[in-house]
Each structure stands twice: as structure tokens, then as C-alpha cells.
């Protein structure tokens, strides 16, 4: 094995240790409080859309855990999709709404995703929209 391989391995080990330190405080408690959620429907078919229009898709997320739900950010798979969501923590038992606004940029079938980065065990949930863009 060469020297650069060991340097890369050492770098990755340092990154892993830094990650562990950032997640745990000295008394062993997690800094991030994990909660659980239920999404009524994580995948929506928008049907046929006019190329010159925008379409909104709304997703209701219920906080079913014992900690407030915190949506840190939402990453969309394409610049044609914009996410809107409440930036405030969602209380236990309450609902959050994530709205995806889709503006077509080509004709034909589409399938887009949005990853909601939040304090759930997996670290995110994926929302999906699909449909067909037509010229009307």
C-alpha cells in the first residue's frame, strides 16, 4: 500500500470521528432529538399538465413521535421543482405541509423527487410527483 492510501484512510477516519463528536455530547445524550412521522401519501400523480402552467402538490406530514419535528431543508431533484414548507418546529401530534411547485421545462412523462431532511431515524423522507406534460 502506498502513502497516499494511508493519508486518505486517515482523513476519512478523522471525518468519521468528527461526525461522532458532533452528534454526541460528553454525557452520551444525542444532540438531535429523533421523532417519527406519518405521511398520508408520499407519491402523487399530477395527471396531464399544460406545458405553460405550474402545478402544486401538497403533502401532509404528521408528527407522531415524542419530539418536535424539525424540517431542516428540502432538496428537489430538479430546478423545475420548488419546495415550500414551514420552517418552525412542528409540535407533537401536529401536521406539517410540504408543497412542491412544479413548472414543466419539457414535454412528456416526468417523475421528480424531493428529499425532506428532518429529524427522523433515516434522516430524510422522499416525496414523489409524476405526470405527463402536454401542449394544450
- The string of DSSP codes covering 58-124 is EEEEEE-SSS-B-EEEEEESSTTEEEE---SPBPTT-EEEEEEEE---SSEEEEEEEEEEESSTTSE
pLDDT at 99 over 50: yes
- Does 25 share its domain with 43? no
Give the pLDDT band (50/70/90) at residue 2.
confident
pLDDT at 5 over 90: no
Mean pLDDT of 48-61: 95
Q: How many domains does the chain have?
A: 2
Model pLDDT, residue 15: 60
- Does 65 share its domain with 92? yes
Model pLDDT, residue 82: 96
Of residues 45 and 86, more confidently modeled: 45
Provide the domain limits for residue 2: 1-31
Q: How far is C-alpha 4 from the geometric centre of its chain's CA atoms?
A: 36
Mean pLDDT of 6-30: 59
The candidate with the shortest Cα–Cα distance to 110, out of 76, 77, 81, 133, is 133
What's the mean per-residue pLDDT of the chain? 87
Model pLDDT, residue 25: 47
pTM score, whole prediction: 0.75
- Does 60 share its domain with 113? yes
Model pLDDT, residue 62: 97
- Does 78 share its domain with 114? yes
- Does 10 share its domain with 67? no
Amino acid at each position: 500500500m502506498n502513502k497516499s492510501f494511508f493519508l486518505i484512510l486517515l482523513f476519512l477516519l478523522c471525518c468519521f470521528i468528527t461526525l461522532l463528536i458532533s452528534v454526541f455530547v460528553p454525557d452520551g445524550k444525542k444532540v438531535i432529538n429523533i421523532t417519527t412521522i406519518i405521511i398520508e401519501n408520499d407519491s402523487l400523480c399530477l395527471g396531464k399538465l399544460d406545458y405553460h402552467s405550474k402545478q402544486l402538490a401538497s403533502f401532509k406530514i404528521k408528527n407522531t413521535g415524542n419530539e418536535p419535528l424539525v424540517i431542516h431543508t428540502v432538496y428537489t431533484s430538479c430546478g423545475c421543482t420548488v419546495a415550500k414548507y414551514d420552517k418552525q418546529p412542528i409540535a407533537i401530534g401536529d401536521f406539517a405541509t410540504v408543497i412542491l411547485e412544479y413548472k414543466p421545462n419539457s414535454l412528456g412523462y416526468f417523475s421528480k423527487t424531493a428529499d425532506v431532511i428532518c429529524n427522523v431515524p433515516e434522516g430524510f423522507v422522499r416525496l414523489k410527483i409524476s405526470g405527463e406534460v402536454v401542449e394544450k
